[in-house]
């Protein structure tokens, strides 16, 4: 009897051991219907640091090409798909029940998405339903339970350890490289059968409806993944003057960003805002023009590889983080710099 109990207990222990150490991570793909957004690739790299199996969920409408491209991403074992017109606009209410059900079906140990407005919207909803904590803006994976994340606008780094059955979090994509888009051969698992009824049920219960979107089209690279970012602040004086930055951005193949002061003054739309409450960028080159460098702004760009600041106030805090600081009137300096770079290239 006692021996039986001991054996049973040791089997239990063993199962516990296996559960803890064979991770199954689900990454939720972010896409705009037509193409995969690159933050998903950074998130897959974060998932690979956890170890174990990686699968990806693509929920959307007519996403075949996205699914195909994800199957080739190195390290991805399965791609779960739910393809339905109701999923055309990503709503927290529609994607959450799919993820919760996948967690239960597949005993997922980790669920990750990029810390964009997309991921931030549904990841905590999933965590609430699973009764687990969520870990926001993961900047490094120490082990399968331990992560670092910035707090207080990036002025402190917290190391946190989760003993939840399933670790649910968002990944600061600029802190991880992109996973290679070749070398993988994932299997596709179509989940429509069980997932679509869940989505429909949730839509009925919450009665949420997408009305419209206003998406700003730009020829320039996307702000969060651009190699070069040129941002303007209050010193730009008007929206018109942002043309100067656009010209420089085109010379360098970069994106244009802005400080909150520039957005609040109505110079540019708020999706360009870089900072604690806007976008987090970490390009190779960040050029801050007419930006004083408030901590909320620094939180969004201080992990850039090289920071150049152009400001006429020599005391501006931006100069404390800038690798290259040029004290000058921006209206003179920016066109000159643009010409000089064109010549130097």
Partner 1 sequence: MSFKVLVPIKRVVDYAVKIRVKGDKSGVETNGVKMSMNPFDEIAVEEAIRLKEKGIATEVVAVSMGPKTCQETIRGSIAMGADKGIHVDGGTTDLQPLAVAKLLKKLVDKEKPNLVILGKQAIDDDSNQTGQMLAGLLNWPQATFASKVDIDKSSPNSVKVTREIDGGLETLSMKLPAIITCDLRLNEPRYAKLQNIMKSKKAELQVLTPQELGVDTNTNLKTISVEEPPKRTGGVKVDSIDAVITSLKKFALI
Chain-centre distance for alpha carbon 204 = 29
> For residue 134, what is the enclosing H or E element?
strand 134-138
CB 180 within 8 A of CB 173: no
215 labeled part of a ligand binding site: no
220 labeled part of a ligand binding site: no
51 labeled part of a ligand binding site: no
How many degrees, rounded to 5, is the angle at CA 75 between CA 117 and CA 161? 60
Q: Which stretch binds partner 1 (CB under 8 A): 11-19, 49-57, 229-237, 334-342?
A: 334-342
CA distance 137 to 314: 33
The residue (of 4 and 213) whose beta carbon lies closer to partner 1 is 213
Work out how close the CB of 313 gets to partner 1 at its nearest, in angstroms, rounded to a whole number.
12
* Ranges within 61-90 binding partner 1 (CB under 8 A): 89
The residue (of 186 and 223) whose beta carbon lies closer to partner 1 is 223
Sign of CA dihedral 102, 103, 109, 110: positive
Work out how close the CB of 240 gets to partner 1 at its nearest, in angstroms, rounded to a whole number.
21
For position 163 contacting partner 1 by CB under 8 A, the verdict is: yes
Q: How many residues bind partner 1 (CB under 8 A)?
A: 91
CA distance 208 to 197: 16
Of 71, 84, 153, 198, the residue at the interface with partner 1 (CB under 8 A) is 153
Q: x/- contact string, 7-26, with partner 1 (CB under 8 A)?
A: --------------------
Give 207's Cβ-side CA count (13 Å radius).
Answer: 0
For position 320 contacting partner 1 by CB under 8 A, the verdict is: yes
The residue (of 25 and 311) whose beta carbon lies closer to partner 1 is 311
CB 79 within 8 A of CB 187: yes
Work out how close the CB of 45 gets to partner 1 at its nearest, in angstroms, rounded to a whole number.
20
CA distance 128 to 267: 38
For position 337 contacting partner 1 by CB under 8 A, the verdict is: yes
CA distance 189 to 173: 26
The residue (of 5 and 85) whose beta carbon lies closer to partner 1 is 85
For position 307 contacting partner 1 by CB under 8 A, the verdict is: yes
Work out how close the CB of 186 gets to partner 1 at its nearest, in angstroms, rounded to a whole number.
26
In sequence order, which residues have a C-beta less than 8 Å from that of residue 57 and are 6 or more positions away? 26, 27, 28, 29, 79, 80, 81, 82, 98, 99, 102
The residue (of 128 and 239) whose beta carbon lies closer to partner 1 is 128
* Ranges within 234-293 binding partner 1 (CB under 8 A): 252, 260, 269-271, 276-277, 279, 284-285
For position 104 contacting partner 1 by CB under 8 A, the verdict is: no
CA distance 179 to 156: 28
- Pairing status of strand 146-151 against strand 140-143: antiparallel
Work out how close the CB of 222 gets to partner 1 at its nearest, in angstroms, rounded to a whole number.
8
* Ranges within 192-211 binding partner 1 (CB under 8 A): 205-211
Work out how close the CB of 15 gets to partner 1 at its nearest, in angstroms, rounded to a whole number.
20
CA distance 271 to 268: 9
Which residues define the annotated binding site for FAD?
Answer: 234, 259-260, 273-277, 290-297, 311
């Amino acid at each position: 009897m006692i021996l039986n109990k001991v054996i049973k207990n040791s089997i239990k222990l063993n199962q516990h051991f296996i559960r803890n150490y064979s991770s199954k991570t689900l990454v939720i793909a972010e896409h705009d219907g037509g193409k995969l957004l690159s933050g998903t690739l950074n998130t897959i790299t974060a998932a690979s640091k956890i170890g174990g199996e990686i699968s990806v969920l693509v929920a959307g409408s007519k996403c075949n090409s996205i699914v195909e491209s994800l199957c080739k991403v190195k390290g991805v074992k399965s791609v779960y798909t739910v393809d339905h017109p109701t999923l055309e606009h990503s709503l927290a209410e529609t994607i959450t029940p799919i993820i919760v059900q996948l967690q239960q079906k597949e005993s997922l140990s980790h669920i990750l998405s990029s810390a964009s407005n997309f991921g931030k919207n549904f990841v905590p909803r999933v965590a609430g339903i699973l009764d687990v904590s969520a870990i926001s803006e993961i900047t490094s994976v120490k082990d399968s339970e331990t992560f670092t994340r910035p707090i207080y606008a990036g002025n402190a780094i917290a190391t946190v350890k989760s003993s939840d059955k399933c670790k649910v979090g968002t990944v600061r994509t600029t802190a991880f490289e992109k996973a290679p888009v070749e070398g993988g051969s994932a299997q596709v698992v179509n989940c429509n059968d069980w997932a679509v009824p869940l989505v429909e049920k949730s839509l009925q219960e919450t009665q949420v409806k997408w009305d419209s979107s206003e998406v700003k089209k730009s020829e320039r690279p996307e702000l969060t993944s651009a190699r070069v970012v040129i941002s303007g602040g209050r010193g730009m004086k008007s929206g018109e003057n942002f043309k100067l930055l656009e010209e420089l951005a085109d010379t360098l193949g970069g994106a244009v960003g802005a400080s909150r002061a520039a957005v609040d003054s109505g110079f540019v739309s708020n999706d360009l805002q870089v900072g604690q409450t806007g976008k987090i960028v970490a390009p190779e080159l960040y050029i801050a023009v007419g930006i004083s460098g408030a901590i909320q702004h620094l939180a969004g760009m201080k992990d850039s590889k090289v920071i150049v600041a152009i400001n006429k106030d020599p005391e501006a805090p931006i100069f404390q983080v800038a690798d290259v600081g040029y004290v000058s009137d921006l209206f003179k300096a920016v066109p000159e710099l643009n010409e000089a770079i064109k010549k130097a290239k």
